[in-house]
Structure 1
Amino acid sequence: MVYLSIGVLGFVLYYLYDINSVIWQNRFLHYLFTLGTSFQLIASIGLLVKYFDKLNFNVLWIITGVYNLILLIYSLFFALPFETTYIKENHERKVYRKGVYSLSRHPGVLFHMGTYFSIALLYQTFMVSLSAIIWITMNIIYIIIQDAWTFPHTFVDYSSYKKETPFLVPSHKSLRKCIKSL
């Protein structure tokens, strides 16, 4: 239950980070995203270590989980220009529309879901499965808030991006655009 709570706290810090980005704009609170990510990492690793003896070595779910984790890390930290995305506050920010961000507006959520579904299937314990379900749900709520409130306030061109790029599930058109931009 401790690791589940730490992971939930990580998402609360993400929510506060977004509120800060739009309303408070406090430089110190800008690091809440990094702190939230650290909490998510600690919670995830803690669960994996605690229930290691319950791990079912299924090659398919291990490969799927690692693949999704790599894509999650890539989409959040390498596909975006890091400094302008996470470090600098800029009120004239424009949406990054290339690569996975031409695929859907929130590609990291798909990879987050794939990672935690794979972990739940590998461990098949109540606590790991409950944590995965709660964290996936909190992440979906987070992107809904971002899409409806945070991003329209932080990106000057977000309304046009919404018109041309699917919310979550890629389309044939967005898949072609993603492949061309890579």
Structure 2
Amino acid sequence: MTYVLLGAVSFVFFYLFDVFNIKGKSLLKVSFAIIGLITFIYSSYKIAFLGSSISFHKGIRLISALLFLISLFLLFYSLFLELPFKKTYGEKDYNNGLITTGTYALCRHPGVLWFFFMFIFLFFYTGSALLLMAGLIWTSLDVLYVYLQEKYFFQDMFKDYKKYKKTTPMLIPNLESIKRCFKTIK
């Protein structure tokens, strides 16, 4: 349970990333992003591979491993390739323009979707019952985190965010957003 709590604490570090991002404190911004990421990856590893596990059929494990890797790639793609990496995560100036194409046409926070699927499929691969619980708790915290981003940060960071909110669902894609995603994906 310690690692579930440690993973939860990483969301505090991610929130502080946004606080220092909006204040233009790039060193603190980057520091909290790195601390949060390391804390989260460490917690995930400990829970996924070092606890007791349920045994699943080899075929389920193989398919789950593949779907986990696809979800992990999509998470990486949405957060680090579609967004301009240096401007988003490294520079002092936070307003790097609003991305509304690709997976950001699918929903305003595609990383939350990939994050959720990543943990579901990792559970079926590893069989870690604690991972299933942690993934649900962490996904809930991720939803809270993006809600706070929308409420306290994104309105100030992106001038067209209100318009974007009207045209693109927050988390659950709809038929129109799925079509727009496929039309605009690079």
Normalised by the size of structure 2, how large is the TM-score? Answer: 0.86
Q: How does 1:79-94 map to 2 (within 5 A)?
A: 79-90=82-93, 92-94=95-97
Tell me if the contact between 2:65 and 2:125 (Cα under 8 Å) persists in the aligned partners.
yes
Q: How does 1:17-166 map to 2 (within 5 A)?
A: 17-22=17-22, 24-31=23-30, 32-51=32-51, 54=54, 56=56, 57=58, 58=60, 59-90=62-93, 92-166=95-169
The 3-state SS of whatever aligns with 1:61 is helix
Tell me if the contact between 2:26 and 2:90 (Cα under 8 Å) persists in the aligned partners.
no
Tell me if the contact between 2:88 and 2:94 (Cα under 8 Å) persists in the aligned partners.
no
Query: Could you give the per-residue CA deviations for residues 80-112 of structure 1, whole angstroms, max 9, x where no partner exists?
Result: 111121112326442111211111100010000
C-alpha separation between the residues in 1 aligned to 2:70 and 2:128?
A: 22
C-alpha separation between the residues in 2 aligned to 1:117 and 1:105?
A: 21
Relative to structure 2, which stretch is displaced further, 129-138 or 101-110?
129-138
Give the equivalent residue in structure 2 for 1:6.
6
Q: Which runs of 4+ in 1 moved over 6 A?
A: none
Query: Could you give the per-residue CA deviations for residues 105-144 of structure 1, whole angstroms, max 9, x where no partner exists?
Result: 0001000000111223334444222211211111111111
C-alpha separation between the residues in 2 aligned to 1:55 and 1:25?
A: 48
Provide the aligned length of Structure 1 versus Structure 2.
181
Structure 2 unaligned regions, length at least 5: none
Q: CA RMSD in A?
A: 2.0
The percent identity for this pair of structures is 28
Tell me if the contact between 2:21 and 2:94 (Cα under 8 Å) persists in the aligned partners.
no
